[in-house]
Structure 1
């Protein structure tokens, strides 16, 4: 089951890059849209492969759990990844400005938004795992899938601590030095 997961991950990035090349390099927006529509189909293919494998009598191993985790991450973070890579292509090929780095409360809010996506990814992954356990209906064949649920909880707990750390200790913008080498008071972030 590991090879289909790797193939789907590679397929995700290949189709995404091809869509952006069609949009920015070849200037074919219709082709780019068609390729972007194909990106979620890769997730559907992976889900079908996991279900077919388990329903066909396979004993779940760690790769089935990894596939469920990949599906959750792909659904929850896929749109953000597409936007991020689209901005990079726009910057490179259309001269769009780079996004400014975030500091302080803006950065903390961004970390909480990402944590929200992680919760969504965890919920989707857990739902896929539980659905596979239910579909197979044999606890001896799906014990490995049940073992992924606490792992998801652990990752979410660590992610939440990281988001909290940006709230408690906000990241400060670097100070800009004046020509004399001393930090400019106007450039220091407010406390």
Structure 2
């Protein structure tokens, strides 16, 4: 049941997001669109309550309960970020808004961007680990808590891997491509194109 509910919450997230953006930019009803988007946190609340009820009814704790905690943590940390990113693109394409700025690609700016994302991952893992720890205390420290503790270690590994990615961008920043020197381009002359080759062969003939 929990796995099906996780899928339903994920599908519901995108359905509500699409409906909210359609009301805001296509139907020109920004208040109604904002109201629909505010319903999205209710999905995570329903999932949390259903997980607690499932454990209370004696269901053995397994990977599905751990996945539910990770999903809730991801939504807390990245949900608003995702909605804001998609909303910016929808405003640009549907309402003539400015083109959303792309994240930095090179140098220290890219490293800072990666560390900002890592902080979101830290929040995700902290929320998931806290929910899992509450579940561990609820079911006891017997064998039933082993899958929950395993998911806690999985959250730590996710956090560590993302930290290594951000560290690589810090220690080995990606360099921006060097712009072509206009003086060198002028000395080399215009580049030959495929359209120039037939005309040259005709002049030689």
Per the alignment, residue 113 of structure 2 pairs with: 110
SS at match of 2:39: helix
Q: CA deviation at 1:174?
A: 3.3
Residue 174 of structure 2 corresponds to 171
How do residues 139-154 of structure 1 correspond to structure 2 at under 5 angstroms? 139-154=142-157
C-alpha distance in 2 between matches for 1:59 and 1:14:
31
SS of residue matched to 1:13: helix
2-structure distance, mates of 1:180, 1:6: 58
Residue 100 (structure 1) shift: 3.4
SS of 1:75's partner is helix
Q: CA deviation at 1:141?
A: 2.4
Q: Scaled by the length of structure 2, what TM-score is found? A: 0.83
Q: Which residue is 1:44 aligned to?
A: 45
Count of matched residue pairs: 182
TM (norm. structure 1) is 0.89
Per the alignment, residue 70 of structure 1 pairs with 71
1:97 match: 99
1:157 matches 2:160: yes
Does the CA-based 8 Å contact 2:103-2:113 persist in structure 1?
Answer: no
Q: CA RMSD in A?
A: 1.7
Could you tell me which runs of 5 or more consecutive residues in structure 1 were left unpaired when the two chains were aligned: 183-191
Who is 1:187 aligned against?
none
Query: Hey, what's the Cα distance between the residues in 1 that align with 2:71 and 2:181?
Result: 48
Task: Determine the C-alpha separation between the residues in 2 that align with 1:98 and 1:173.
Answer: 21
Structure 2 unaligned regions, length at least 5: 186-205
Match of 2:18 in 1: 17
Q: Deviations over 1:92-129 (max 9, x none)?
A: 11232231341211111110000001011000000010
